[in-house]
Structure 1
Amino acid sequence: MKLLGKYINKDNSGSIKVLLEEEEDMWQFYNLIRVKDLVKASTVRKVITESETRSNSSQKINMNLTIAVEVITFDPTTCTLHLKGKNTEKNEHVKLGQYHTLDIELGKTFTLSKEQWDSVDFHRLKECQDTVAKKADVAAIIMHEGLAHVCLMTENLIITKAKIELSIPGKRKGYSSQHDKALERFYKHISNAFIKNIDLDVVKCIIIASPGFYKDCFFTYLQNFMETSGRKLTPDDKNKFLLVHSTNGFKHSLKEVLSDPNIQKKFGATKSQGELSQVLRFQQLLDVCPEKAFYGPKDVIRANNLQAIETLLISDSLFRSQNLEERAKYVKLVESVKKQKQNVYICSSQQLSGEQLNLYSGVAAILKYPMPELENDACHSSDGSS
């Protein structure tokens, strides 16, 4: 993200002008933009005019519009934000109060204005100013014969950096050489995408996943390819690779791979999977020591009031609430836990960590010490309400 202008007042009202450059930026702004915010951007609108002969004609006109946002949607396939709302500024072609949808795409400049920027908003802005290449410390290559995806994983998204598709003829009698040559070309394309998109100085873990032996054959090819390209893998580099089974080479199969507890143990120290390791820790405590693990806003807020929280887990979906009081409650909770110098993990609903956390209402806490009295109070409360 490029921050082109920042105009924040002492009361935390104000606006920013930005240019979004990466998929991660788009996801962050999906979480930043809320109902009633003002967004100004260039757009195209179909305008109908009536001639002197009373015949109608239409034409598409480029213009700048400012809308008060009412509906926010994010299309991950096209990496586009769709913002629907009413026009708030006089315009030759669009009346005040008329509805329009602004499409925010990568490379497009726009201005976002808020009546109140809070601490979670400022944290997201700060995160946006780091590139994906600096933040993504897990990479993955998932493949089957003729199809591969080269991905980087941040705390919020799994980002496809390259998709390789190549028709590979069957290994029939008398045609095995054609099959082998096509497979070698396939591996070469993946290796080039690997070199172009994966920084071995930043990435701590590289998953190669496939059905059968493709992962093993490709890893052998990659090592030779890197050496002949003058980028020989060091022993430390080789230790970063995990070769694992996947059902196929489609991107969605990565979640199946990442849900394997054995895999999670191996990359639990990485930033992009730190949230997942904490969610798993919470789930384990819920089984073995439930007096130290609580979920749901009521119990978590009570634990925080007693300054008993060691780790707060909260889903980013809670900050997208259109209920401003509800959102403010969670912002206050995050600020309070941070003020006590304890851990806060905001889990992306696009990642496995967020999906798992949402099964527990989207907010959970690991306590510093067991609090059976809190659990008993929770039980009495639920008994009384039934």
Structure 2
Amino acid sequence: MKLTGKFIEKDGKGHVSLIPDEPEDMWHAYNLICEGDSVRASTVRKVQNQTATGSSTSSKIRTTLTIAVESIDFDTQACMLRLKGRNIEENQYVKMGAYHTIDLEVNRKFTLTKEEWDSISLERVDQACDPTQHADVAAVVMQEGLANICLVTSSMTIVRAKIEQAIPRKRKGHAQQHEKGMQRFFESVLQSIIRHVNFDVVKCVLIASPGFVKDQFMEYLVQQASKTDNKVLIDNRSKFLLVHASSGFKHSLREVLADPAVVAKMADTKAAGEVKALDAFYAILQTDPARAFYGPAHVEKANASQAIETLLISDNLFRIQDVAQRKKYVTLVDSIRENGGDVKIFSSLHVSGEQLALLTGVAAILRFPMPELEEDEEEEAAGGELDKDAS
């Protein structure tokens, strides 16, 4: 994402002009744009023209519109962002107040105006425009007959291809059928890697599986690269890293990204930082539960005592339509940072973000134990049981 202009007044009102460079930038735009904001961008409008004889013709005209956003649709597969709203600036083709849909496009500038730019939105702009944030990782999570080829970016886990093939079982005298099946399967996976992994961008390719499937596949990949003289694979062989996974399904990625060898290899990527923080939270929850809490009520009480060392929060909470609720979470983040705490904002489209969503989307690791919060939790649970008994 390129930042071409920025003007924010002291009261927080202002605009930024951005040019998306790649499809993932649409995810950043989706997190920035809220209902009630205005967006100015180039769009295509169908215009009816009437001739002197009374016949009409229609043509498509490219024009620049400014709309007050009323609805936002994000297609996660195509990484497309569609905005719908009323036109709020004079235009020769579109009447004031008329509805129009704008599709934000890669390499086309748009200007976003907000009544108030909060710290989270400004941080998102800085993150989107910082090229060091795009430290991408590719992952192949596989087992016999099943493979998921994923791209793990700083914001999303995208499944680029899913390969499912029937592999004949090993039987006495028929082991050759199993071998042929595995060779066909490995060839499909290899072709998918060549097609979907851009080695100019990707720093690390994780090959993960239970058992020895990953080792067998890596052996096959090296053989095929030498046989076909595939310079891309040969030159990037050092980027491949073999790690253990419990299965070939997408959810196994969480444990893959938590592997110490993987963390060391891609320590500078945001994905690893999120998984590490979530694992630390789970570990403390088991060993020292008075230092790990989740849920808005407990986290806010802990923050009131300046007890939060690390906050784990989902970006979903900054997209909710209730302005008061959104401001509450922004204030929480600002407060924790002012008190010297660390804040990890999890992407809801990332594997670790999906895990955090199961814990209400907000959790905290505390600097010191607060057993009184545990007591509050027990009292609330007991109160709930009494209510049930009464009914």
**Shorter-chain TM-score: which interval?**
0.7 to 0.9
Match of 1:250 in 2: none
Deviations 1:16-68 (A, max 9, x none): 22111223321111111111111111111223455566665533322111101
1:110 alignment partner AA? F
For 2:272 and 2:362, the matched residues in 1 are separated by 18
When normalised by structure 2's length, the TM-score is 0.79
Tell me, yes or no, if the aligned pair for 1:142 and 1:210 is still in contact at 8 Å: yes
Deviation at 1:97, TM superposition (A): 1.2
1:306 alignment partner AA? S
Deviation at 1:178, TM superposition (A): 10
For 2:92 and 2:143, the matched residues in 1 are separated by 55
Match of 1:325 in 2: 324
Alignment of 1:242 with 2:243, yes or no, is: yes
Deviation larger for 262-271 or 34-43: 262-271
Deviation at 1:382, TM superposition (A): 6.0
Match of 1:27 in 2: 27
Deviation at 1:278, TM superposition (A): 2.3
When normalised by structure 1's length, the TM-score is 0.80
Tell me the number of residue pairs that the alignment of Structure 1 and Structure 2 aligns: 371
SS of the residue 2:312 aligns to: strand
SS of the residue 1:73 aligns to: strand
Deviation at 1:264, TM superposition (A): 2.6
In structure 2, the CA distance between the partners of 1:375 and 1:80, relative to structure 1 (3 Å rule), is same
Tell me, yes or no, if the aligned pair for 2:258 and 2:279 is still in contact at 8 Å: no
Tell me, yes or no, if the aligned pair for 1:141 and 1:148 is still in contact at 8 Å: yes
Which of 219, 222, 235 lines up with 1:231 in the alignment? Answer: 235
For 2:74 and 2:364, the matched residues in 1 are separated by 29
For 1:354 and 1:347, the matched residues in 2 are separated by 5
For 1:32 and 1:113, the matched residues in 2 are separated by 10
What's the C-alpha RMSD, in Å, of the aligned pairs?
Answer: 3.9
Deviation at 1:76, TM superposition (A): 1.3
Deviation at 1:319, TM superposition (A): 0.2
| Identity in percent | 41
1:53-92 equivalent positions in 2, closer than 5 A: 57-92=57-92
1:315-354 equivalent positions in 2, closer than 5 A: 315-354=314-353
2:124 alignment partner AA? R
In structure 2, the CA distance between the partners of 1:106 and 1:144, relative to structure 1 (3 Å rule), is farther
Alignment of 1:258 with 2:253, yes or no, is: yes
For 1:180 and 1:268, the matched residues in 2 are separated by 30
Tell me, yes or no, if the aligned pair for 2:215 and 2:242 is still in contact at 8 Å: no
Deviations 1:59-89 (A, max 9, x none): 3322111101111111012110011111101
Deviations 1:306-350 (A, max 9, x none): 001111111100000112221111111111111122111111111
For 1:13 and 1:325, the matched residues in 2 are separated by 17
1:95-174 equivalent positions in 2, closer than 5 A: 95-131=95-131, 134-136=134-136, 138-142=137-141, 150-159=149-158
In structure 2, the CA distance between the partners of 1:213 and 1:198, relative to structure 1 (3 Å rule), is farther
Unaligned residue ranges in structure 1 (runs of 5+): 248-252
SS of the residue 2:70 aligns to: strand
Deviation at 1:300, TM superposition (A): 0.9
